[in-house]
Chains A and B, each alone.
Chain A
């Protein structure tokens, strides 16, 4: 695709971000852009997915205790990880000085579920019920071995700060289908783990060098759902309406002497803000949900700010055609006391994650909604700290981990990629973070090679200089 000049991109993205408001710009400068060449150019084919719900599990859940069953670890429990398997792998500063690397099986029993026969552990009983709707990828891998660079890579395609996030790229490339809501929404919840809750940062949903309006907009569990949404105390909707009308009238007077089309755009943004003030509270108000919803998502969904409530909110956002819905659930960093803390984390997310997939399916929305579930890297097959009869921990592991995807044109009920019998190295169909991101964009109808933005003389893209679509997992 031809690279738009920054100013052009600004105008374009603005109108796409809030499509309807964009058309209200009405300026001659934009008239020629009515067909939105950028949007047309990035569409390589009919999109399979209209939207993405990304259930990001921050801190890195252990694939060994959830998805990637390795009976060998039980057979050889406590034995040393063979050096040939580790093969010079660099370790974090937390286990680099450890003198022994004892193989550590999961404490949770595994069984096969569904017609697909997916192996899952006992700690995710609800996910077991959607095994046939899900594609498990066991061969994800990354370069980063610490949280900050790994999350930054997962979400922005590079380990260092400075690049736009996945959601911003999607928002930039495809814009919004709902004039009253942003294209890219972020929802955060804290985990119940008693251990580390790794931090998050605005850069993970930031727009970096893309126009700032492409950054994720946080919807919050407490206070205003969107920052500064609520009118100040003592100001009624009617007063606000009168004030916005006055602003528009006065701005139009200004436009008589300063014929800048931006002024008309600003008037439109005030209208949009006014509408958002009513639409967003309605969106986060679950009172119109039947009891069956809470039976499905769990009672926790009634409590704003929990993962379960965020999953339900994600479904409501998806119903309103929000393009990219990014959830983060914190607390998956089980270096120590994994059995205790992983159980707590799974209680937070298992039921609601499964409910979301089922709910979308029941509503006929799963076909065009891509759900992604996973963290930033995996965890080690060996124990960090002391391995006892019922306690252990696992360090960070970049060479393999499991994520799952559902809907949005991804083949359901399949297992893709394979790790060795230690669950340490990928032996079949490796999938890098860049491949995952290329695949997500592909399902949205975007060729990851074409979605570029010129900054500092270089055409940047989400997948940096790599990435390939994982065609095998697509319908």
Chain B
């Protein structure tokens, strides 16, 4: 842009040009009033500069005479009024307002001397006659300079008169004012079916149901439509529809991207977005929490979760890559994405050099970047699950459940303490009695199985390689089994362990290398250089303390869901922090184990040494019990001490032991307590983890990186906003929170314009500014500048109320026009930029799939949660992925309800996104995408005709309509309504009936084929005759393939 960012009358204005834009804007506002209000005044001249002259200068001149200092020629900038209108050294100003012929700028354009002519041949040569004329006219009419339109303050436009006989709502007046110029007039209102389908898809991403259509058609109240809109905005489906759009901007995915592209868990952030839209969170708060929720005073879990927005970028973990290179990539991605989404600026262009067209220097870039390069992250991360910084982020429901459990546990705690307080004297009596027998020292007797390994036994099968003889030597208890690394012990009765069990065994290891102690389908316990290692598909835990070679030791593994304790000789060993991996992964390379096995698994090395007395319990052993299993006698030890010498803990242990033996009620309460405590632990274990923003304590310095290279740091810079926009308040610490607040500050004109432009596009297909990702000097000026400003001012003025904005737009007469117009009207404005007809919207990839699921009744309405893996052709991930040792490398398809969730919950692997969504232009999500392309390809036809998703939906919908009526016409009509949201016409119905008849005849001759067609998809077959159902399935599939099925007209 241009530094003096407001109307600038050249010759006599003496504004100090060092003033910032912000200051200038205020000078202008207070002195001259505002620009857009002047609807019928010199605005025309001004508009002329901004929309006509400035684009020419930008396109043809700025590359050499613009903001980029490196490329600048002759020390001349045409993006600054001072250089145009002031004398340069002893030469006159290059623009003489009112006199093109006397202006150097103009003379250069028309010169035929190649040394004088501008632009020079190597930069495209002379301008077109039309362009030259525009500049001449501009100079001749006074050369009034104004800033780039998007950088002007937002002002409420003066509303023009209403179009005669049409709506007088502001939006409609601002749209209609352009019609005369283009010889247009409004289209008729859309019929109710069309309108309902359009607005239902727009606000919920789903078609209206048959009942909703019937209700709306029958509702003759004047506010019938408004109540529909309110219903849609209040539906939880609204948040899903709006979030879908936001996920593209936020480059949300379920994998890390780059080389390995393994699993990450960010669905909590995705659900935060859904919830925020559903709760109608104001857009300023929506902005602040996503960019800087972690920096808010006493930030809540949700607010920190929201900052996942800027952790959604790809993260690399390629072995051998250089961390600094990727730290730069991440910070640059956050910078560019934030600038694109909120400012609509192509900041990325200034990463390597000054921006060529917009007034953004490379220094500006790295000042903005400095807000984002102090995240406490690693350059290479994400090998196993998420990449730091992380947050354990329980859902609301989980938090409520935790509070409830804590209350219940607290109550029982109190009751137990009370019982103990009253039992001290009874304990003393018991101690002196004979009851305190030696039985206490025995291991718990209720084992599921016990293998003494004292010799051959019916209880176990012991196999050695080549059927060698098994050897028993003197053991810990009687004999023990000698294991040579190839010895496998399998219980004769297969043992299936639940998710709560305990296993104890005596071992006398003779080697240090990694060997297997226990293996089951979902875990292994191994000995690895002394450490005991517990491994599941999800994680790996190992003890810090080591088992000793050539010595008897007792090992007990206690598993309680995700909580694992490993005892050595009855003493619990500290465990390494768990490494989390993708629990959905099917790890095919794990040994194939069907039930519990001892000492060996698959081809891996088995245990070497002596093994004795294996005990398996189908329950969790308490620490005291584990101690006894390990050969200890904890109660006996306490009893042996004089009462006065016992510690507080020992006293409680003893008392507890006594009461559990003697007081049935107490024992029940303890059991209840344990059960609740277990539930609590399980609950906490199930809390999802998510990636968030967190600042580093020692600040990572930001530098201007020469040529954008991470290894060429130049001048050091501190965080600041762009110099071409209003500054940060001076009393703010320049951090992300200050940046976020600045983005939604009233003085900053871009955010509101950029946001309303996107929301407008969501509803109309075409944005008001055709380049939603670029509001800079190379942008397309808005088709309706007054409307854009009206919406922006209104949006901001309403407290950034998104639902209000959307409601206002969909309530407009403009939105409610029909899109069914004559060919002549269509040709008059093929892209509908002047809005003299209703929007005809192509459904997005997600809407198409969701609509098929919804109309058939298959759609699951579950809101949020981990991503799901519906149908996908086999082999896609496997063909490109690394495989071993990483997650999300093999596609394990889900089943049941998880096949029918809304598409925004579909697992998004960046290197291989869902193919049926990609076919309909869904992006890879490797970078921020504002505009999806809208293509029309044969692959799309193949998806709709052949993807099991759509074939199954057709089959199920066919069954649904057949169950409702036996009349074929009624069946066709009902399915047409479910898919197209209206009844078929008199011309359409016979065509479909005829198709039904030909298919029916075909399947009557090919009954087996009918059965085959009805077996597509995993949902159960309906109890209906196969032949007509197959024929009706083909009819429904045909309806789903209609152009009208993939549009909301």
* Chain A residues packing against B (C-beta within 8 Å): 5-7, 10, 14, 17-18, 21, 28-29, 90, 92-95, 145-149, 160-162, 188, 190, 196-203, 206-207, 210-213, 217, 220, 222-224, 226-236, 238-240, 242-243, 246-247, 249-251, 253-254, 257-263, 265-266, 269-270, 272-273, 276-277, 395-396, 454-458
Contact = CB atoms under 8 A, between A and B. Distances in A.
Contacts of B820: 257-258
B879 A220 contact: yes
A269 B774 contact: no
Contact of A259 (B821, B911, B934, B1002): B821
Given A197-B883, A239-B999, 10 more contacts: A5-B770, A92-B321, A146-B259, A202-B911, A202-B918, A203-B924, A234-B1016, A240-B945, A247-B1042, A457-B349
Nearest to A267: B1043
B348 A148 contact: no
Given A29-B830, A162-B927, A202-B912, A253 B985 contact: yes
A219 to B, nearest CB: 11
A224 B881 contact: no
B259 A246 contact: no
Nearest to B319: A94
A396 B319 CA distance: 11
Interface in B903-932: 910-913, 915-916, 918-919, 921, 924, 926-927, 931-932
A457 B259 contact: no
Most buried by A among B261, B318, B1015: B318
28 contacts: A6-B931, A17-B937, A28-B827, A92-B322, A93-B322, A94-B319, A146-B320, A148-B316, A161-B926, A196-B882, A199-B261, A200-B880, A203-B924, A223-B873, A223-B875, A232-B946, A233-B1016, A243-B1041, A246-B991, A250-B992, A250-B1038, A253-B987, A259-B822, A270-B941, A272-B938, A456-B340, A456-B774, A458-B778
Contacts of A253: 985, 987-988
Interface stretch (B286-294, B303-311, B1006-1014): B1006-1014
B1041 A273 contact: no
In the A-B complex, the 7 residue pairs with the closest CB atoms: A234-B1013, A201-B911, A234-B1012, A92-B320, A273-B941, A273-B938, A148-B259
Nearest to B928: A162
A452 B175 CA distance: 34
A90 B1006 CA distance: 68
B interface: dominant SS: loop
A234 B1030 contact: yes
B456 to A, nearest CB: 42
A18 B940 CA distance: 14
Given A239-B999, A259-B823, A226 B939 contact: yes
Contact of A220 (B875, B1034, B1042): B875
A203 B259 CA distance: 11
Given A161-B257, A233-B1015, A258-B840, A228 B873 contact: yes
A231 B1010 CA distance: 13
A228 B926 contact: no
B1049 to A, nearest CB: 6
B880 A188 contact: yes
Contacts of B1037: 243
Contacts of A93: 319-322, 380
B776 interface: yes
Contacts of B998: 242
B848 to A, nearest CB: 13
B616 interface: no
Name, among A200, A210, A261, the residue most crowded by chain B CB atoms within 10 Å (CB to CB).
Answer: A200
A207 B777 CA distance: 26
Contacts of A10: 933-935
A279 B322 CA distance: 47
B943 A228 contact: yes
Interface in B1006-1049: 1006, 1008-1016, 1030, 1034, 1037-1038, 1041-1044, 1049
B37 interface: no
A388 B881 CA distance: 32
B396 interface: no
B1042 A254 contact: yes
B779 interface: yes
B875 A222 contact: yes
Contacts of A162: 926-927
Contacts of B348: 456
Contacts of A254: 1042-1044
A94 B320 contact: yes
Contacts of A258: 819-820, 840, 1049
A212 B933 CA distance: 6
A203 B939 CA distance: 18
Interface hub of B314, B329, B939 (most chain A Cβ within 10 A): B939
Interface residues of B, number: 107
Interface of B: 257-261, 314, 316, 318-322, 329, 340, 346, 348-349, 356-358, 380, 711, 770-771, 773-774, 776-779, 819-823, 826-827, 830-831, 840, 873-875, 879-883, 910-913, 915-916, 918-919, 921, 924, 926-927, 931-943, 945-948, 951, 985, 987-988, 991-992, 994-995, 998-999, 1002, 1006, 1008-1016, 1030, 1034, 1037-1038, 1041-1044, 1049
A185 to B, nearest CB: 13
A317 B919 CA distance: 22
Nearest to B316: A148
A213 B918 CA distance: 10
Contacts of B358: 457
A276 B927 CA distance: 32
B830 to A, nearest CB: 5
A213 B937 CA distance: 7
Contacts of B1008: 234
Contacts of B346: 456-458
Contacts of B911: 199-203
B410 to A, nearest CB: 51
A253 to B, nearest CB: 6
Contacts of A234: 1006, 1008-1016, 1030
Given A94-B320, A212-B933, A199 B260 contact: yes
A146 B935 contact: no
Contacts of A18: 937-938
A227 B915 contact: yes
B882 A197 contact: yes
Contacts of B926: 161-162, 203
A385 B1012 CA distance: 57
Contacts of B321: 92-93, 146, 148-149
Given A28-B827, A212-B935, A457-B779, A269 B940 contact: yes
Nearest to B875: A222
B1043 A263 contact: yes
A457 B1041 CA distance: 37
Nearest to B822: A259
Given A90-B322, A236-B1009, A456-B773, A199 B880 contact: yes
A242 B882 contact: no
Given A199-B911, A224-B873, A233-B1015, A148 B1043 contact: no
Contact of B946 (A149, A228, A395): A228
